[in-house]
């Protein structure tokens, strides 16, 4: 960082998938209003509001830089000291953001230009967990956050293996959940990982109390309303729209659930997977049963080969973890995005360090609101991680292309957009594309398409109810509908109702299973991933149209297509400067969330599933 008289070059952090969304630009002047003695509100003018916003953005940007570097440190070297530093920086950031958010209310009575009003609203809604204006409580909130992140990141499960104790990291357990088919081992890992979270429960409970008090001081009923207020519509309308979209895709989920249950029943037998009812949660290839692509081998018909096994292609190609990231970068540059800067390659974390604990959950960061972008992952050489790399790079390319927006607009059009960008690109990892980049020799014929769609559905469709329920649970916790004595019960009611899965062993309030999922201790809202699953198919459909592709959506790849690239870049460059329906319209011509694209994409699979499920009793 370089200090210059009067203009301090400052930078800040944005970590997509992390709790605080921050960004930065160079600080100019204009701290005058924010620092001047409080003026009489009645005298304030629109010009004062603009000056206030300029000063506020400059101050936040500066503070966010400090918070980003501390957070990066605490995520990549988990220890007492990094947590101490991170909590301090986060406390300072929260204090400032809360102070500015409340100060913004002094312009409430003014008739302001829409852009000024939007920035004031965004200032008010910028934090994920606001603290009340009490320094001791703000400190407590920051310490709770750092502590829970650290507990999750450093979590391990130790078990007896061939007479010796072996401790597994979450990444190692994830690999076993994906590939091992021994139900006893899978159950043991499932139960074992969940030992990480009971100690989090009192911390979480206190964090909710503090966050609710903070949201109330900002004028919201509770954190649930606050979290749902960030979508350019009334909070209840947002929740209702999520339910409406779910209603549209639910038949597809139910058909998939029915078929998967039947196939798992064939493989494991009635004692392990009953032919009726809920599917045991430890047998779906993923620690949280949120995406099921890893059990494709159990679900496919004997004659239904997928057109490719992406893990096999990655392994056979001999590429390194860094090479995998290069493959992702190449897709974005083929669409006209700037190549990643050298600092990205120097500063990112691609693999799990052997000598220390880190938060392995994948994330993308912008440290300075400009070009210091990075990803933090513990990459495995699998198809799943190649897709996650595209997901993370989507965040980074978005961050970079909106870097010249004002600080408060250095965000996605809504948080679902941010999550959808990389996934949209990954939908173009088709056989045609893989052949073009030399990872595959021949494009398989159409007879293999159902296999490909099945593989995609096991990830994309299986995820939808999980994407919906995580924040349904949090909203109920925040608004007091669910009290701490029922945290785990309420969690499993939702898991059972929406996903049709069941815990493999009895659970009780001694357990705190929500805490064993990153986004609960990590305080990352989750509705965004549900939105993104719907949006990415809308984006894919629109980009394929722009590219002049006329074939089925699942065969379309926009690799190297200028028209599609231009459209995507134009929308992303808007950042959060416009209401999200404007951004949506710029890319798709539609102003609403529309599940018809995901339904169209999977239409051939739906027909197949309906046929397969004939004579089966579906549902749970």
What is the contact surface with ligand X8Z in residues (CB under 6 A)?
16-17, 290, 362-363, 388, 391, 529
Residue 16 or residue 27: which is nearer to ligand X8Z going by CB? 16
**In the bound complex, what is the minimum distance in angstroms from residue 535's beta carbon to Zn ion?**
13
Q: Tokens in use for 316? A: 């056979």
| Helix residue spans in 381-525 (DSSP H) | 383-401, 415-426, 431-436, 449-478, 487-494
Strand 373-376, strand 363-366: pairing: antiparallel
Cα–Cα distance for residue pair 360/152, rounded to 1 Å: 10
**In the bound complex, what is the minimum distance in angstroms from residue 529's beta carbon to Zn ion?**
8
Cα–Cα distance for residue pair 569/547, rounded to 1 Å: 14
- How buried is residue 536: exposed, middle or buried, by Cβ count under 10 Å (0-12/13-18/19+)? buried
**In the bound complex, what is the minimum distance in angstroms from residue 422's beta carbon to Zn ion?**
7
Q: What's the farthest any 2 CA atoms get from each other in the chain?
A: 77
SS (H, E, C) 54-94: HHHHHHHHHHHHHHHHHHHHHHHCCCHHHHHHHHHHHHHHH
Is 392 labeled as catalytic in the residue annotation? Answer: yes
Is 187 labeled as catalytic in the residue annotation? Answer: no
Residue 16 or residue 279: which is nearer to ligand X8Z going by CB? 16
Task: Tell me, rounded to whole angstroms, the distance of Cα 85 from its chain centroid.
Answer: 25
Q: Which does residue 529 bind out of Zn ion, ligand X8Z, none, counting CB within 5 to 8 angstroms by kind?
A: ligand X8Z
**In the bound complex, what is the minimum distance in angstroms from residue 415's beta carbon to Zn ion?**
9
Q: Which does residue 362 bind out of Zn ion, ligand X8Z, none, counting CB within 5 to 8 angstroms by kind?
A: ligand X8Z
Using the structure block, give the residue that is written with the tokens 């630009």.
25
Which string of b and e fits 94-118 if b means at least 16 CB within 10 Å? bbbbbebbbbbebbeeeebeeebbb
**In the bound complex, what is the minimum distance in angstroms from residue 345's beta carbon to Zn ion?**
20
DSSP state of 349: B
- Pick left, alpha or beta for residue 163 (phi over 0 → left; psi -120 to 50 → alpha; otherwise beta): left
**In the bound complex, what is the minimum distance in angstroms from residue 148's beta carbon to ligand X8Z?**
16
Using the structure block, give the residue that is written with the tokens 């815990």.
503
- The torsion of the CA quartet 33, 35, 37, 42, rounded to 10 degrees, works out to 30
Instruction: Tell me the binding residues.
Output: 231, 391, 395, 419, 528
Q: Does 367 bind Zn ion (CB under 5 A)?
A: no
Residue 401 or residue 503: which is nearer to Zn ion going by CB? 401
Using the structure block, give the residue that is written with the tokens 């159409």.
446
Residue 143 or residue 399: which is nearer to ligand X8Z going by CB? 399
Catalytic, out of 418, 519, 540, 554: 519
Spell out the residues 6+ positions from residue 526 whose beta carbon is closer than 8 angstroms to its own. 467, 470, 471, 474, 519
Residue 16 or residue 100: which is nearer to ligand X8Z going by CB? 16
Q: Which does residue 388 bind out of ligand X8Z, Zn ion, none, counting CB within 5 to 8 angstroms by kind?
A: ligand X8Z
Cα–Cα distance for residue pair 48/104, rounded to 1 Å: 11
Residue 76 or residue 363: which is nearer to ligand X8Z going by CB? 363
- Closest residue to bound Zn ion by CB: 17
- Closest residue to bound ligand X8Z by CB: 17
Residue 212 or residue 524: which is nearer to ligand X8Z going by CB? 524
> CA-based angle 191:506:483, to the nearest 5?
95
CB 350 within 8 A of CB 364: no
**In the bound complex, what is the minimum distance in angstroms from residue 414's beta carbon to Zn ion?**
13
Using the structure block, give the residue that is written with the tokens 């014929």.
445
Strand ranges across the sheet with 14-16: 14-16, 363-366, 373-376
Catalytic, out of 392, 418, 540, 554: 392
Q: Tokens in use for 357? A: 């604990």
Task: Tell me, rounded to whole angstroms, the distance of Cα 461 from its chain centroid.
Answer: 16
Sign of CA dihedral 465, 469, 470, 471: positive
**In the bound complex, what is the minimum distance in angstroms from residue 378's beta carbon to ligand X8Z?**
11
Instruction: Tell me the binding residues for Zn(2+).
Output: 391, 395, 419
Residue 194 or residue 540: which is nearer to Zn ion going by CB? 540
Q: Tokens in use for 377? A: 């992952």
For 550-554, the CB contacts below 8 A with 24+ separation are 552/449, 552/604, 553/597, 553/600, 553/601, 554/430, 554/449, 554/452, 554/453, 554/456, 554/601, 554/604
Spell out the residues 6+ positions from residue 540 whose beta carbon is closer than 8 angstroms to its own. 424, 427, 428, 553, 556, 558, 597, 601
Q: Tokens in use for 176? A: 């076993």
Residues 13-32 close enough to bind Zn ion by CB under 5 A: 17
Cα–Cα distance for residue pair 439/314, rounded to 1 Å: 8
**In the bound complex, what is the minimum distance in angstroms from residue 58's beta carbon to Zn ion?**
28
Residues 406-445 close enough to bind Zn ion by CB under 5 A: 419
Residue 11 or residue 19: which is nearer to ligand X8Z going by CB? 19
Q: List active site positions.
A: 392, 519
Residues interacting with Zn ion, by CB under 5 A?
17, 419
């Amino acid at each position: 960082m370089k200090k210059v008289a009067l203009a301090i070059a400052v930078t800040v952090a944005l970590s997509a998938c992390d709790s605080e969304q921050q960004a930065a630009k160079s600080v100019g002047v204009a701290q005058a209003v924010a620092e001047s003695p409080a003026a009489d509100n009645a005298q304030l003018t629109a010009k004062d509001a603009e000056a206030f916003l300029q000063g506020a953005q400059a101050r936040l940007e500066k503070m966010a830089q400090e918070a980003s570097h501390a957070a990066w440190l605490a995520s990549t070297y988990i220890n007492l000291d990094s947590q101490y530093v991170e909590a301090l920086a986060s406390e300072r950031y929260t204090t400032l953001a809360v102070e500015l958010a409340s100060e913004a209310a002094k312009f409430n009575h003014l008739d302001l230009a829409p852009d000024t009003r939007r920035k004031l609203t965004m200032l008010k809604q910028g934090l994920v967990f606001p603290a009340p204006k009490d320094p001791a409580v703000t400190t407590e909130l920051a310490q709770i956050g750092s502590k829970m992140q650290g507990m999750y990141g450093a979590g391990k499960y130790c078990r007896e293996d061939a007479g010796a104790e072996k401790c597994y990291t979450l990444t190692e357990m994830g690999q076993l959940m994906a590939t091992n088919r021994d139900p006893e081992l899978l159950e043991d890992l499932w139960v074992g990982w969940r030992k990480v979270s009971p100690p989090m429960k009192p911390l979480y409970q206190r964090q909710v109390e503090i966050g609710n008090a903070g949201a109330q001081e900002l004028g919201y009923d509770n954190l649930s309303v606050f979290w749902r207020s960030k979508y350019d519509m009334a909070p209840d309308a947002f929740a209702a729209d999520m339910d409406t979209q779910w209603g549209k895709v639910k038949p597809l989920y139910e058909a998939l659930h029915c078929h998967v249950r039947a196939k798992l029943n064939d493989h494991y037998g009635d004692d392990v997977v009953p032919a009726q009812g809920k599917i045991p949660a430890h047998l779906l290839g993923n620690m949280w049963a949120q995406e099921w692509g890893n059990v494709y081998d159990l679900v496919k018909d004997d004659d239904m080969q997928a057109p490719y096994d992406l893990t096999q292609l990655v392994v056979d190609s001999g590429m390194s973890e860094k090479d995998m990231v290069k493959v992702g970068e190449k897709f974005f540059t083929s669409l006209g995005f700037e190549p990643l800067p050298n600092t990205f390659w120097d500063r990112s974390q691609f693999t799990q360090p052997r000598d220390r604990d880190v938060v392995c959950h994948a994330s993308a960061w912008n440290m300075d609101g400009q070009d210091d972008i990075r990803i933090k992952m513990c990459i495995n050489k699998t198809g799943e991680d190649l897709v996650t790399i595209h997901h993370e790079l989507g965040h980074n390319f978005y961050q970079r292309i909106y870097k010249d927006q004002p600080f408060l607009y250095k965000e996605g059009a809504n948080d679902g957009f941010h999550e959808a960008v990389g996934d949209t690109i990954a939908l173009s990892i088709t056989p045609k594309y893989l052949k073009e980049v030399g990872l595959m020799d021949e494009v398989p014929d159409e007879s293999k398409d159902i296999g490909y769609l099945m593989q995609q559905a096991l990830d994309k469709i299986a995820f939808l109810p999980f994407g919906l329920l995580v924040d349904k649970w949090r909203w109920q916790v925040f608004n007091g509908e669910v009290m701490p004595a029922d945290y785990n019960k309420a969690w499993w009611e939702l898991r059972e109702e929406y996903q049709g899965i069941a815990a493999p062993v009895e659970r009780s309030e001694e357990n705190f299973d929500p805490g064993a999922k990153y986004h609960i201790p990590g305080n990352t809202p989750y509705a965004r991933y549900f939105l993104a699953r719907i949006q990415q198919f809308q984006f894919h459909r629109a980009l394929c149209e722009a590219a002049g592709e006329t074939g089925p959506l699942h065969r379309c790849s926009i690799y190297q297509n200028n028209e599609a690239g231009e459209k995507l870049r134009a929308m992303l460059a808007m950042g959060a400067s416009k209401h999200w329906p404007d951004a949506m319209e710029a890319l798709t011509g539609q102003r609403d969330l529309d599940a018809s694209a995901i339904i169209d994409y999977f239409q051939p699979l739906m027909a197949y599933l309906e046929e397969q499920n004939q004579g089966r009793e579906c549902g749970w």
